[in-house]
């Protein structure tokens, strides 16, 4: 089987797995314990934290380890609940987008039940949110702006740095603070960025998208940013995320990030070539459509080269996924995270597609280990399998 679903979960990074195994077996002591074994675990934790901070151009204190992307996102959104203590409706507005991952989108919607107002800014037909559209949604009650960096279904890279600028300018004029967060799960170690250069206050990262095990992630929190934790306990992570630290996961995350970022400059160029080849090959299959259609078939810097979304309307994406699997290729429908039917097409619909067309989307997501032969193999498989099955479907030209 050829694995082309990296955006859902990446194959393990061998070094990271070794690291996790070694740390699990040897450094089992609690990093908060005062004895020698605890101190050794604590030292290793500090080193991993420093490593990740360095990779992000951040300071060690700015890294909070969590269980993954969903928890990192929830930590930011749920910190707003503390504002309810102030009473009134001031500071109860959230500005985010219609294309966020469900862990931001659904969490924001859940906060509406507590009195928060949400603006879900829509993207253009390319799936990219305009900074001016975010600016329009800001008002004096806005407490948080959350915009993802790379969309997990379309690969569209959001203009987070420009949005940060708009938000900062608004803050300066009004003399207030607006928390600015980005969900960088599909960007971390996949495209070059640093939270500092983006100008955000918080950024969510996940381990298993880059080869670390599941159950580890991180939240970058810029220093001097206050975020009230929802869970209380032993005061770990400077009280921002209590609970005994997942040291094997943390060390694996540091290792996978190091491997990924070290290779990124040369991988990026290669990835763009592979994406171009993939898009060109898929579009040569009769009936193929690229989502969003405005994405160019030559290297398009507005999109992550690791994610390509196509469809063969009227064939539902899940049918194409099964056809690919029958030939040994594992791809995915739009998003692996939305099993509920209602939410399956939200992101692509926001780009202006009809629900029927959006349901046709197939996501091919690759990683550094993906070869050109594998890409050619997928193209060949779909070129053979899709047209006869598509001809059987309703809506074909008679």
Partner 1 sequence: MRDSLFLVKYGEIALKKRNRGAFVKALKDSIRGKLPDLSISVYETWHRVYVRFSPADREAVSSCLSRTFGVVSFCEALRVPTDIPAVEEAARELAREYLAAGRGTKFKAEVRRAEKRYPLTSYQIACRLGDALLAAFPELTVDVHRPDWILSVEIREHAYLYGPESAGPGGLPTGSSGRGILLLSGGIDSPVAGWMMAKRGLALDAVYFHSAPFTSEKAREKVETLARMLSAWLPGLLLHVVPSTPVLARIKERSKEEETTLLMRACMMRLASLIAAQRGALCLVTGESLGQVASQTIESMAFTETGAGVPVLRPLVGMNKEEIISIARRIGTFDVSNLPYEDCCVLFSPAHPLIHPSLDKMKRAYAGLKADEPIAEALERTEEVRIGARAPGL
Q: Does 35 bind partner 1 (CB under 8 A)?
A: no
Map 241-271 to HEC letters: CCCCCCHHHHHHHHHHHHHHHHHHHHHHHHH
Contact 56, 46 (CB under 8 A): no
User: Which tokens in the block code for residue 117?
Assistant: 């107002």
Draw the binding track, 329-368, toward partner 1 (x: CB under 8 A; -: no contact). ------------x---------------------------
Element (H, E) at 180: strand 179-183
Decide: 337 and 384 in contact? Cβ < 8 Å.
no
Closest CA to 128 of 248, 277, 304, 272: 304
> How far is CA 31 from each of CA 36, 45, 88, 261, rounded to the nearest angstrom?
10, 7, 42, 27
Task: Name the residue nearer to partner 1 (CB basis): 353 or 359.
Answer: 359
Nearer to partner 1, 85 or 341 (CB): 341
Give the residue with the Cβ less far from partner 1, 236 or 345. Answer: 345
Q: How far is CA 180 from CA 106, 133, 379, in A?
A: 18, 16, 40
Using CB under 8 A as the criterion, what x/- string covers residues 275-314 for binding partner 1?
---------------------------------------x
Distance CA 83, CA 115 (A): 11
Tell me the window of 45-53, 201-209, 226-234, 387-395 that interacts with partner 1 (CB under 8 A): 387-395
Among 224, 232, 394, 397, binds partner 1 (CB under 8 A): 394
The kind and range of the H/E element at 206 are strand 202-206
Question: What contacts 175, CB < 8 A, 6 or more positions away?
Answer: none
Stretch that binds partner 1, among 32-40, 260-268, 365-373, 388-396 (CB under 8 A): 388-396
The residue (of 220 and 329) whose beta carbon lies closer to partner 1 is 329
Closest CA to 9 of 162, 205, 212: 212
What's the CA gap between 357 and 141, in Å, rounded?
37
Q: Which is nearer to partner 1, 223 or 394 (CB)?
A: 394
CB of 24 to partner 1, least distance (A): 34
Q: Which of the following is catalytic: 118, 171, 337, 360?
A: 337
Does 125 bind partner 1 (CB under 8 A)? Our answer is: no
Segment interacting with partner 1, rule: CB under 8 A, options 13-21, 178-186, 230-238, 321-329: 321-329
Q: Which of residues 224-243 bind partner 1 (CB under 8 A)?
A: none
Written in H, E and C, the secondary structure of 101-149 is CHHHHHHHHHHHCCCCEEEEECCCCCCCCCHHHHHHHCCCCEEEEECCC
Under the binding rule (CB under 8 A), the answer on residue 389 touching partner 1 is yes
Give the number of C-alpha atoms closer than 13 A to the C-alpha of residue 262, restricted to the C-beta side: 8
Q: Which of 238/322 has CB closer to partner 1?
A: 322
Q: How far is the CB of 336 from partner 1 (least distance, A)?
A: 15
In the complex with partner 1, which residue's Cβ is closer, 74 or 315? 315
Residue in 43, 86, 263, 391 binding partner 1, rule: CB under 8 A: 391
Distance in Å, CB of 322 to partner 1, minimum: 4
Q: Which helix (H) or strand (E) holds 167?
A: helix 160-174
Gap between the Cα atoms of 81 and 75, Å rounded: 10
Q: Which residue among 125, 132, 244, 326 contacts partner 1 (CB under 8 A)?
A: 326
Nearest-CA neighbor of 246 among 8, 15, 74, 20?
20
* From 318, 343, 349, 380, residue interacting with partner 1 (rule: CB under 8 A): 318
Out of 123, 316, 334, 367, name the contact with partner 1 by CB under 8 A.
316
Provide the minimum distance between the beta carbon of 319 and partner 1 in the complex, in angstroms, as a whole number. 5
Q: Does 194 bind partner 1 (CB under 8 A)?
A: no
Contact between 322 and partner 1 (CB under 8 A)?
A: yes
Cα–Cα distance measured from residue 225 to residue 49, given in angstroms and rounded to the nearest whole number: 18
Nearer to partner 1, 298 or 339 (CB): 339
Q: Which of 55, 319, 348, 381 binds partner 1 (CB under 8 A)?
A: 319
- In angstroms, what is the minimal distance from the CB of 151 to partner 1? 25
The question of whether 337 is a catalytic residue gets the answer yes
DSSP-based three-state secondary structure for 93: strand
Q: Using CB under 8 A as the criterion, which residues of the chain lie in contact with partner 1 when the complex forms?
A: 314-316, 318-319, 322-323, 326, 341, 389, 391-394
> Annotated active-site positions, please?
337
């Amino acid at each position: 089987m050829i694995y082309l679903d990296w955006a859902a979960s990446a194959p393990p990074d061998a070094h990271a797995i070794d690291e996790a195994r070694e740390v699990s077996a040897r450094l089992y002591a609690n990093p908060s314990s005062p004895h020698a074994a605890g101190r050794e675990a604590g030292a290793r934790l500090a080193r991993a934290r420093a490593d990740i901070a360095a990779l992000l151009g951040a300071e060690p204190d700015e890294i909070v380890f969590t269980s993954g992307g969903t928890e990192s996102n929830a930590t930011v959104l749920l910190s707003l609940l503390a504002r309810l203590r102030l009473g009134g409706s001031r500071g109860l507005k959230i500005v985010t987008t219609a294309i966020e991952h469900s862990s931001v989108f659904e969490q924001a919607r859940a906060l509406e039940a507590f009195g928060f107002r949400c603006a879900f800014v829509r993207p253009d037909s390319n799936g990219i949110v305009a900074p001016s559209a975010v600016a329009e949604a800001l008002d004096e009650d806005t407490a948080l702006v959350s915009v993802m960096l790379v969309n997990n279904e379309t690969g569209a890279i959001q203009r987070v740095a420009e949005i940060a600028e708009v938000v900062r300018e608004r803050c300066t004029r009004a003399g207030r603070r607006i928390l600015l967060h980005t969900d960088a799960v599909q960007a971390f170690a996949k495209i070059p960025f640093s939270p500092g250069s983006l100008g955000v206050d918080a950024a969510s990262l996940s381990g298993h998208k880059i080869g670390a095990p599941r159950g580890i992630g991180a939240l970058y929190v810029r220093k001097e940013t206050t975020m009230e934790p929802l869970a209380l306990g032993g005061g770990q992570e400077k009280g921002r995320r209590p609970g005994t630290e997942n040291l094997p996961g943390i060390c694996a995350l540091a290792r996978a990030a190091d491997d990924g970022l070290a290779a990124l400059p040369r991988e990026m160029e290669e990835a763009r070539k592979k994406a171009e080849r993939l898009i060109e090959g898929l579009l040569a299959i009769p009936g193929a459509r690229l989502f969003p259609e405005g994405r160019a078939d030559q290297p398009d810097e507005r999109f992550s080269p690791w994610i390509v979304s196509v469809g063969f309307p009227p064939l539902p994406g899940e049918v194409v996924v099964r056809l690919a699997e029958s030939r040994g290729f594992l791809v995915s429908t739009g998003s692996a995270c939305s099993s509920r039917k209602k939410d399956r097409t939200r992101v692509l619909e926001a780009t202006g597609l009809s629900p029927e067309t959006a349901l046709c989307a197939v996501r091919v997501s690759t990683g550094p280990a993906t070869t050109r032969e594998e890409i050619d193999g997928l193209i060949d498989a779909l070129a053979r399998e899709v047209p006869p099955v598509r001809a059987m479907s309703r809506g074909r030209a008679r």
